[in-house]
C-alpha cells in the first residue's frame, strides 16, 4: 500500500506557499520547493514561521503539520478538515466508551497486544530473561479478572515495570538504566524512548485520521479535550513492537552514542544529529513490509496501524470482534 512521504524540517526558517507550491526558506535565505502532492506529513523541529496561506494549501492536499518543541518532543498537530466523518461510527464508538463492559474489553485488548510485544522483546535476551518472562506472563493473566479501567491500568503498569526491570539484559552498550523517567527524561535511554514514542504517537494520529474513527474517544486512556487519546490506546500495542526494538537496535549497534545527547541540568534530550539518526531509522522501519496472514499480501508497518484502526471500526459497529495485532514472527 503506497503512501505519501514524511518531510522533516530541522532548520529555522519560513514555510510558505508560492502559487500552488510549498516552499521552505531557511535562515540563510536558501529556498527550495517541497513536493506537496507526494507529502503526507510535515514535521517541524526547527523554529519555523508560517501563515494561514500555508494552512490553506496543506488542507487542499490533506497534509498534516506536526510541531515539536525545543527538545524534540511532540507539541501538537494541524489537522485538516476531516472529510471521513461518520456519525454512525462515532455513535457506536461512543457507546463502547459509555458501556463499562465494552470499554473494559477493548482496554484489556490494547494491553494484551502491548504485553505480547514486551514478551517478544524479552525472549530475544535468551535464558537470562526467563524469570522476567515468567513473572510478566503470570501478572498478565490477572487481566482476565480485571473489569474496571483502574484495575486494567494497574496491571498494565505492573507488567511494564517488570519489563523495564529487564532492560539491562536487552541493552548491550554502555548505557546505564535506572528505570523509566519521562518528565523529564533523566538519561540517554529514557530520552531515546521518549523521542521514539513521540514519533510513534504522531504516526498513529496520521493513520487514525485516514479512517472514520474519532481520535478523541478512547478506552484504556481517559478521553481528554487536549489530546488524541485514542492514539495513546493504539500506541500501547506498537511502542514495544516498533519503538523499543528500534531503540535496542540503535544503541546495541552503536548508531546512537552518548555524543548524541545533551544534558541540561538533569534533563536529557537528543541533539540534532541524534534526532536525524533516529528519524531516519524510524522512517525506514515504518516502511518495512511483511506478508499479512489475513490479507495475503505485503503491508508496511505504517499501514499496519491503519489496519488496526479499521479492525476497531468493525468491532464498534458489530461486524467483527476486535483482536489486537500480535507479531507472530
- Show binding-site residues for Mn(2+): 156, 221, 236
Give the residue from 66, 110, 93, 59 showing the smallest Cα distance to 214: 93
User: How far apart are the C-alpha atoms of 196 and 277, rounded to whole Å?
Assistant: 11
Q: Could you give the CA distance from residue 258 to residue 255 in angstroms, rounded to a whole number?
A: 10
Residues 6+ apart with CB under 8 A from 161: none
Q: What is the rounded CA–CA span in Å between residue 43 and residue 199?
A: 10
Q: Considering only CA atoms, which of 288, 318, 319, 317 is closest in space to residue 305? A: 288
Alpha carbon distance 49, 29 (integer Å): 13
Alpha-carbon distance values, 143 to 260, 262, 278, 292 (Å): 39, 39, 34, 28
Which of 264, 291, 317, 326 has the alpha carbon at shortest distance from 72? 264
What are the binding residues?
156, 221, 236
Amino acid at each position: 500500500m503506497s503512501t505519501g512521504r514524511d518531510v522533516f524540517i530541522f532548520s529555522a526558517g519560513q514555510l510558505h506557499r508560492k502559487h500552488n507550491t510549498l516552499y521552505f526558506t531557511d535562515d540563510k535565505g536558501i529556498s527550495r520547493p517541497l513536493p506537496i502532492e507526494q507529502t503526507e506529513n510535515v514535521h517541524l523541529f526547527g523554529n519555523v514561521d508560517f501563515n494561514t496561506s500555508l494552512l490553506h494549501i496543506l488542507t487542499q492536499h490533506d497534509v498534516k503539520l506536526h510541531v515539536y518543541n525545543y527538545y524534540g518532543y511532540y507539541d501538537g498537530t494541524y489537522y485538516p478538515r476531516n472529510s471521513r466523518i461518520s456519525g454512525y461510527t462515532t455513535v457506536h464508538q461512543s457507546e463502547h466508551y459509555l458501556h463499562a463492559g465494552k470499554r473494559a474489553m477493548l482496554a484489556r485488548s490494547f494491553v494484551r497486544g502491548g504485553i505480547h510485544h514486551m514478551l517478544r522483546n524479552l525472549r530475544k535476551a535468551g535464558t537470562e530473561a526467563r524469570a522476567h518472562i515468567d513473572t510478566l506472563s503470570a501478572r498478565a493473566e490477572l487481566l482476565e479478572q480485571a473489569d474496571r479501567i483502574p484495575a486494567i491500568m494497574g496491571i498494565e503498569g505492573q507488567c511494564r515495570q517488570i519489563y523495564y526491570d529487564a532492560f539491562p539484559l536487552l541493552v548491550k552498550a554502555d548505557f546505564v538504566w535506572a528505570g523509566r523517567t519521562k518528565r523529564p527524561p533523566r538519561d540517554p535511554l529514557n530520552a531515546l524512548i521518549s523521542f521514539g514514542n513521540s514519533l510513534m504517537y504522531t504516526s498513529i494520529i496520521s493513520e487514525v485520521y485516514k479512517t472514520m474513527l474519532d481520535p478523541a474517544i478512547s478506552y484504556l486512556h481517559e478521553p481528554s479535550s487536549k489530546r488524541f487519546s485514542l492514539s495513546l490506546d493504539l500506541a500501547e500495542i506498537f511502542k514495544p513492537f516498533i519503538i523499543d526494538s528500534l531503540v535496542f537496535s540503535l544503541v546495541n549497534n552503536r548508531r546512537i552514542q552518548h555524543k548524541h545527547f545533551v544534558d541540561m541540568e538533569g534533563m536529557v534530550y537528543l541533539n540534532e544529529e541524534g534526532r536525524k539518526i533516529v528519524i531516519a531509522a524510524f522512517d525506514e522501519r515504518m516502511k518495512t513490509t511483511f506478508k499479512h496472514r489475513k490479507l495475503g499480501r505485503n503491508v508496511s508497518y505504517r499501514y499496519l496501524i491503519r489496519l488496526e484502526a479499521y479492525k476497531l471500526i468493525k468491532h464498534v459497529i458489530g461486524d467483527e470482534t476486535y483482536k489486537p495485532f500480535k507479531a507472530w514472527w
